Structure 1
Amino acid sequence: MATETLLALGLYLLLGRWLVGLTSSLRDPAFAALNIGAVYYFFYWNNEQRFPVKFQLVLNLIFVAYLFALYVQYLAMRRWSDQPGWQPWIAFFIPILFLIVIRYAPVKELAALVSPSLGRLIERRPDFTLNAVMVGFSYIAFRSSYLVLEVRNGVVPKPGLWQYFGFAIFLPTLSVGPISPYRMHHQGFVPSNKPEIPVGRAALRVLVGAVKNRFFGPLLNQLTYTGLLLDEHPHHLIDLPIAAVAYYLYLYCNFSGFCDIAIGSAGLMGIPVAENFANPLVARNLGDYWNRWHITLSHYMRDVVFSPLSKFLVRTFGPKNANHAIALTILVVFLLVGIWHGVGWNYAAFGVAHAAGLIAHHYYTIYLKKWLGRERFAAYNRNRAIHAVSVALTFSYVSACLFLFANDGESMARIFSMLRL
């Protein structure tokens, strides 16, 4: 099966590179069809490892609904994205509304209303959720909504149907991102603006990502909460920080490794993709961390939520309260970041924990600038000892916050029940 998958991926990349290089009118529909077919093959066709064969009809129907949702998003973008006033926001929020439905719709209850036998079939699969089978829709929703803003602001021309599908369902960035904007994707299809992406460098990027994702990730996972603590045996308290650090490193290798593979694979086809990581392990504060970790999500939240909301709050409460307005905006942004990552109170708590750290750093920086003055503050930032301590504290805080990200309430209770002094 692994050999078959690798051969299919190789064929996908070769066909993709050939299609991207074409200049005929068939290029865009063929490229969209290639990605639609690839997504169906890799995530919906004969997926016995996740679901039994009897689920195939259900998966096929869900895939049709998946494509229909994308088509509705496309129609909304075409209709409203370049209209004046508030109308583009209709097109902007439609993908977000689809995402909310996919995340929170009571699938089992709705299936039982349609067909009792279908409801019983799904009831026997607790892992069956729309979010699990509508692969990558959270990334599609953010890319599609951001595309509306790109068109509204005149950054890119309004894409046609096949261009939209080739972008929205682009296989390398589908399931784990990055949330790369349409303007970068479109560059790969414009000969006069096409960036040079050496094949060797792209192939090396795929190899590096595979080593991080498939070798170092599983190795580190043996020391995470699941691999080390959730084994029904007592553990010394020291195992908790070990698991916290291991989980942070595991998540970095797993996530950044997958992004390396996505960026390298897209590069092999000649399509540029935005970078998503810039060595976040050496961040000196949480603001620096979010400029290095999941960069495309940070940029999306900055452009879509932080900038407009902070300006609105400053206008509302006045310039004298600008610092408090920024702090409130940070809380809203990271609460949304937490909720976007998953369903459950622990994800919201994860976002609030990061917001608390960022707000504390925000006020601490204001205090330092007033107390030290410009020159001494600059010297403070250049001090190597302070830099080293800042990096260590940031690394520790991020590791601690990820405890909320990695575990639901039941897992947290089990972990604490296993710890001994």
Structure 2
Amino acid sequence: MTPYGSFTFFFILVILLAPTVILGLQGKRFHSYNMIISVLVLAIIFSSKLTGFIALIIFTVWQVLLIQGYISYRKKENSGWVFSFAVIASIFPLVISKLLPYFSQVNWISFLGISYLTFKGTQMIMETRDGLIKQNIPLPRLLYFILFFPTISSGPIDRYRRFDKDLKQELTGEEYKQFLYDGINKIFQGFLYKYIIGYSLNHFLIANLRFIAANHFQSHLFYMYSYSMYLFFDFAGYSCFAIGVSYIMGVKSPENFNLPFISRNMKDFWNRWHMSLSFWFRDYVYMRFVFWMTKKKWVKNRNVTSNLGYILLFLLMGFWHGLAIQYIIYGIYHAVLMVGYNTFEQWNKKHKWWPQNKFTEVFSILLTFHVVCFGFYIFSGHLIH
């Protein structure tokens, strides 16, 4: 069963989360019950695909052993080689799951949510290296973080320390009432986005654009904007569901979208679009690469180092979406945009060529919107095929 993919799924959630709501409104703790609920919901999600459920179990055991083992090691030693091995071992199942379809018809290692669970495990190893996680984590709490069902398939990607802080917070009945109110609002927003606006865009516009085959410029243009809007409302709607259910369970999962289509430039866009993923790549890929290059002093120019970091970041993001040509080109496209904007930004600081006023702000928003939509058009595969 697909998370948030049918009204049956929501009906099951209403039944299972009813005790959570009752306990929360009474100011009583409910996280132990929610851990059991996560296991039950995961069993329901994977009930139609036993191989996926088995892969999830094996993957989880693998990540837990790596995380707990590295935490124990880090208390005594701090070898860069051991850290690198732990990170590579953490992402290894994800890499195999991306490559296996090109060599076998059966992708036995893949399962729903493998990417986002990998991000969680890898970030914990990195934060342990940085000294942000110092103590062994109780096994039930670690499993609850990794297998937190509301966000398992497509995020948002939470951070362990923020998640753990929510679990330790004692909520009064009044405080939980606000959580419940915000959660229900988010879920209704999700229905509006995904099942009304998103569905309408896909069913009445995109699905009926047969005239694209005529190769008319205006038809491709119409598809580009329709698909971009659909992609946002469908994904943002899913994120609203995930965040809303998390709130009901007493966990404030991070926001994933913040009005991305009013971004003033590409940096601003990636601070607004799929924010948990953007910030993950920024913190654990880009910043580490820049720090490493600066420390090694291989490139003395900071702007060049920054641009190399953007190229690495967006190439990885493109490959993460898949090895299909449109995803790789999509990553290259955004790498070029970020390098171009970063170069222009640094140049403009010296020459003050681009003024800051209402006109330039509106122009920047419109330009960024069209550039972003063209990127989604590449992502859709229609430009390539």
TM bin, normalised by shorter chain, reads: 0.7 to 0.9
Distance 2:55 2:42 in 1: 14
Q: Deviations over 1:95-124 (max 9, x none)?
A: 311111122224884xxxxxxxxxxxxx6x
Distance 1:303 1:261 in 2: 26
Q: Aligned to 1:278, what secondary structure does the other structure show?
A: coil
Output the amino acid matched with 1:167: F
User: What is the total number of aligned residue pairs between the two structures?
Assistant: 370
Question: Equivalent of 1:306, from 269, 286, 291?
Answer: 286
**Paired residue for 1:36?**
39
Distance 1:312 1:166 in 2: 33
**Paired residue for 2:123?**
146
Distance 1:193 1:340 in 2: 38
Task: Using structure 1 for the length normalisation, give the TM-score.
Answer: 0.80
Distance 2:19 2:160 in 1: 21
Distance 1:8 1:91 in 2: 38
Q: Aligned to 2:224, what secondary structure does the other structure show?
A: helix
Question: Equivalent of 2:362, from 364, 385, 388?
Answer: 388
Question: Equivalent of 2:112, from 135, 143, 153?
Answer: 135
Distance 1:31 1:95 in 2: 26
Q: CA deviation at 1:371?
A: 0.9
Question: Equivalent of 1:217, from 180, 186, 198?
Answer: 198
The gaps in structure 2 that reach 5 residues or longer are none
Comparing 358-367 with 158-167, which one deviates more in the overlay?
Answer: 158-167
Q: CA deviation at 1:154?
A: 4.2
**Paired residue for 2:138?**
160
**Paired residue for 1:208?**
189
Whether contact under 8 Å (2:55, 2:111) holds in the other structure is no
Whether contact under 8 Å (1:350, 1:405) holds in the other structure is yes
Decide whether aligned partners of structure 1 residues 162 and 15 sit closer, same or farther in structure 2, where only a CA change above 3 A counts: farther
**Paired residue for 2:92?**
97
**Paired residue for 1:113?**
none
Distance 1:16 1:342 in 2: 38
Q: Deviations over 1:176-210 (max 9, x none)?
A: 10011112221232135998643112101110111
Whether contact under 8 Å (1:276, 1:292) holds in the other structure is yes
Q: Aligned to 2:257, what secondary structure does the other structure show?
A: coil
Distance 1:253 1:169 in 2: 26
> Is residue 181 from structure 1 mapped to residue 184 from structure 2 by the alignment?
no
Distance 2:14 2:88 in 1: 36
Output the amino acid matched with 2:162: M
Decide whether aligned partners of structure 1 residues 203 and 98 sit closer, same or farther in structure 2, where only a CA change above 3 A counts: same
**Paired residue for 1:9?**
13
Q: Deviations over 1:330-365 (max 9, x none)?
A: 101000111112231211110110010111101111
Q: CA deviation at 1:85?
A: 2.7
**Paired residue for 1:77?**
67
Output the amino acid matched with 2:358: R
**Paired residue for 2:377?**
403
Q: Aligned to 1:134, what secondary structure does the other structure show?
A: coil
**Paired residue for 1:322?**
302
Task: Using structure 2 for the length normalisation, give the TM-score.
Answer: 0.87
The gaps in structure 1 that reach 5 residues or longer are 48-58, 110-122, 415-421
Q: Aligned to 2:317, what secondary structure does the other structure show?
A: helix
Whether contact under 8 Å (1:77, 1:148) holds in the other structure is yes
Distance 1:396 1:130 in 2: 40
Whether contact under 8 Å (2:299, 2:305) holds in the other structure is no
Equivalent pairs: percent with the same residue?
Answer: 24
Q: CA deviation at 1:17?
A: 5.1
Decide whether aligned partners of structure 1 residues 146 and 16 sit closer, same or farther in structure 2, where only a CA change above 3 A counts: farther
Q: CA deviation at 1:303?
A: 1.2
Matches for 1:289-304 after TM superposition, within 5 Å = 289-304=269-284
**Paired residue for 1:335?**
315
Decide whether aligned partners of structure 1 residues 405 and 230 sit closer, same or farther in structure 2, where only a CA change above 3 A counts: farther
Distance 2:220 2:7 in 1: 39
Matches for 1:266-281 after TM superposition, within 5 Å = 266-281=246-261
Distance 1:14 1:64 in 2: 29
Whether contact under 8 Å (1:140, 1:174) holds in the other structure is yes
Decide whether aligned partners of structure 1 residues 395 and 151 sit closer, same or farther in structure 2, where only a CA change above 3 A counts: same
Output the amino acid matched with 2:90: P
Decide whether aligned partners of structure 1 residues 106 and 320 sit closer, same or farther in structure 2, where only a CA change above 3 A counts: closer
Decide whether aligned partners of structure 1 residues 231 and 102 sit closer, same or farther in structure 2, where only a CA change above 3 A counts: farther
Distance 2:16 2:84 in 1: 35
Comparing 318-327 with 173-182, which one deviates more in the overlay?
Answer: 318-327
Question: Equivalent of 1:361, from 341, 344, 348?
Answer: 341
Q: Deviations over 1:201-256 (max 9, x none)?
A: 210111011110111001122476x5254567525311111111111111111111
Q: Deviations over 1:271-320 (max 9, x none)?
A: 11111111111001000000011111111111111112112223445674
Q: Aligned to 1:81, what secondary structure does the other structure show?
A: helix
Output the amino acid matched with 1:155: L
Comparing 227-236 with 214-223, which one deviates more in the overlay?
Answer: 227-236
Decide whether aligned partners of structure 1 residues 392 and 181 sit closer, same or farther in structure 2, where only a CA change above 3 A counts: same
Distance 1:93 1:18 in 2: 43
Q: Aligned to 2:132, what secondary structure does the other structure show?
A: coil
